[in-house]
């Protein structure tokens, strides 16, 4: 560690609204210099934490996030893993839940906090939510009990709440409470004190030497059901060259239209080796295949239930598993198991 007298945290600025500040003369927004972060946010120096920062150059807009950048973030953490007690990733909010989910699958034996945060307003704006999000995320990343990190997971911290990263969805584009975790309780709440829910934190996957696996397959699509879905569109999507996996966003508890052509198209695709993962369009709840006749037919066809997984975790988990040297049956088996707390088994 950098300083044995105090915990050390590395802030990794990838991009996003939080990294912008207003020019006092032109009133335009431009990226601030995160290598001098304590000059911009003097509150950090009062935490008793040794804070360092590194920044991606150029910054990555949230909408431009992609698997190669996920790998870059993961490798940055691996390269600095022995130097710091925890990591804070500053990231645009639009795709933050995807990145958090992907990283949760890339890390094995993680025993240090990796906390993503950002803001709805730039950090250089008077009413910004960025300062509180950043300062508290650093405090959470440095927190320990009995010599161990309190939250050795990939998390998202936003608006006083700490979420498991792969259980989180961006739900609002305007409110400071931008994120929600419908199917898993929060890990901590920051008020006058930070109150942790220790029984909800995953300590099971942090035994051994850290392993980082950044192999990802992008031969996947998300297909969302809607009334009047076009047959030609649906069949064309499943005939994409190289397609390996489909996240099927179904209605309610896992239902799709009863069109015979739709079910037959899915059956043909599965016989060709394409994997289907069924997730609900609903914000909360879970897929319960077999509860109704349409989902029963999907089950018989070989579609995998996503249970209570988020769409963000579903697509990144499928991409991760397809990037490994696994058979189709092995991928299907792992999809039904919790790899890092993303589903309730």
As annotated, the active-site residues are: 17
Tokens of 199: 């029984």
CB atoms within 10 A of CB 12: 22
**What are the Cα distances from residue 1, in Å, to 4, 85, 144, 152?**
6, 7, 14, 17
Kindly report the number of other CB atoms within 10 A of residue 286's CB atom: 17
CA 178/CA 155 separation, integer angstroms: 15
* Number of residues in the chain: 345
Q: Please list, in sequence order, all residues whose beta carbon lies within 8 angstroms of the beta carbon of residue 18, skipping any fewer than 6 positions away.
A: 90, 117, 118, 119, 122, 123, 130, 133, 134
Paired residues of 157 in beta bridges: 162
119 three-state secondary structure: coil
């Amino acid at each position: 560690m950098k300083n044995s007298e105090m915990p050390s945290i590395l802030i990794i600025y990838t991009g996003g609204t939080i990294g912008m500040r207003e020019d006092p003369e032109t009133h335009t927004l431009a990226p601030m210099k995160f290598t001098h972060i304590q000059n911009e946010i003097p509150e950090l120096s009062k935490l008793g934490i040794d804070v360092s920062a590194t920044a991606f150059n150029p910054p990555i807009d949230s909408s431009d996030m992609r698997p190669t950048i996920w790998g870059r973030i993961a490798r940055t953490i691996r390269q600095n893993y022995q130097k710091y007690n925890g990591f804070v990733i500053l990231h645009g909010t639009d795709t933050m839940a995807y990145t958090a989910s992907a990283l949760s699958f890339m890390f094995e034996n993680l025993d240090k906090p990796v906390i993503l945060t950002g803001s709805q307003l730039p950090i250089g704006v008077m009413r910004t939510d960025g300062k509180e999000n950043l300062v508290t995320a650093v405090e959470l990343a440095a927190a320990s009990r009995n010599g161990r990190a309190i939250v050795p997971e990939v998390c998202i911290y936003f608006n006083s709440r700490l979420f498991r990263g792969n259980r989180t969805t961006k739900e609002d584009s305007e409110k400071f409470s931008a994120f929600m975790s419908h199917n898993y309780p929060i890990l901590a709440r920051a008020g006058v004190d930070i109150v942790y829910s220790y029984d909800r934190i995953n300590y099971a996957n942090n035994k051994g030497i850290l392993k980082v696996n950044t192999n990802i397959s992008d031969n996947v699509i998300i297909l969302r059901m809607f009334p009047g879905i076009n047959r030609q569109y649906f069949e064309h999507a499943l005939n994409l060259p190289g397609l390996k996996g489909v996240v099927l966003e179904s209605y309610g508890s896992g239902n799709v239209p009863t069109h015979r052509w739709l079910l037959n198209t899915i059956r043909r695709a599965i016989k060709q080796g394409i994997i289907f993962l069924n997730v609900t369009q609903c914000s909360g709840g879970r897929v319960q295949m077999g509860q109704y006749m349409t989902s029963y037919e999907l089950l018989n066809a070989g579609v995998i239930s996503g249970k209570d997984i988020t769409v963000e975790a579903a697509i990144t988990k499928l991409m991760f598993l397809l990037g490994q040297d696994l058979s189709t049956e092995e991928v299907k088996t792992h999809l039904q198991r919790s790899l890092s707390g993303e589903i309730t088994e």
